[in-house]
Structure 1
Amino acid sequence: MSAIRPYVMVDDARVYGAFLERTFGAQVSTMIPLESNPERVIHAEARIGDSSVFFADSGPDGGRCLSSPAEPVHVQLWATVPDPDGVHDRAIAAGARSAAAVTIQDDGSRTGGFVDPFGTLWWVTTLA
């Protein structure tokens, strides 16, 4: 099964999460602070009905989250796919640049990233 989740980079993830709660009745299930600055958020997830939106604080230098090679990206796409290694390899063959090799994560999933030729940062992952 494949799925895509938007990953929105914002100036203040805590305020954005509160906005999603108020506007959509979202449930913010994850809010991970940046270790070096706990006021900033490196990853968050809000459930809206059967869907989820990932979001985090952005930074002008991309230091708080991975950026494309030239500029920080504002929207990242998170795709759950059966074979992230194959998708990553095919993307590179089609002109994308690797942002992160596909590796095993702490939860057992395999995740990697690439920047497509249009500047979008994609994360591809398996379900844990």
Structure 2
Amino acid sequence: MPQWQSPRRATVTPVIMVKDVMKTIEFAKDVFDGELVDPPLMRSNGELWNAEMRIGDSTIMFNAPPTGHEIRGFIYVHVPDADATSKKALDAGAQPVMEPSEQFYGEYDGGFQDGQGNIWWVSTHRQVLSPEEIEKGARAFEEKMADMQKQSG
């Protein structure tokens, strides 16, 4: 690892900045078995300054936002069982966005939204596909969506 890079993080680390950020942290701990790297760093006024959590082999950072500057996340997480993780999230109060299903790009995935507005997309990898196979699947998916739009409208 290069000397300029933190040994605790990948080259790219997402940051979520939402009101009630501690609720988002608890949600991620409960649903993804996330573990805080260190105790959260708090501001002198009691607000969260920074927290880092490990989910699997990845790190995500959480901060309380400056007033009016929330930055919600769309986080894609690989999990062993997308159905079980989605159920766990819904049981924890998340709202469904899309039920997990087989996708043309070799993943079984779906998503949900937590109480602070973050979208979490969970995926279980099913198969490695060539770029050509993915392209073919994408075109078939587009045709299916166009047909559905014609029928509904």
Place the TM-score, normalised by the shorter chain, in its bin. Answer: 0.3 to 0.5
Higher helix share: 2
Give TM-score scaled by structure 1 length.
0.44
TM-score by length of 2: 0.37
Bigger share in strand:
1
Q: Which has the bigger relative contact order, CA under 8 A and spacing at least 6?
A: 1
When Rg is computed on C-alpha atoms for both structures, the one with the higher figure is 2
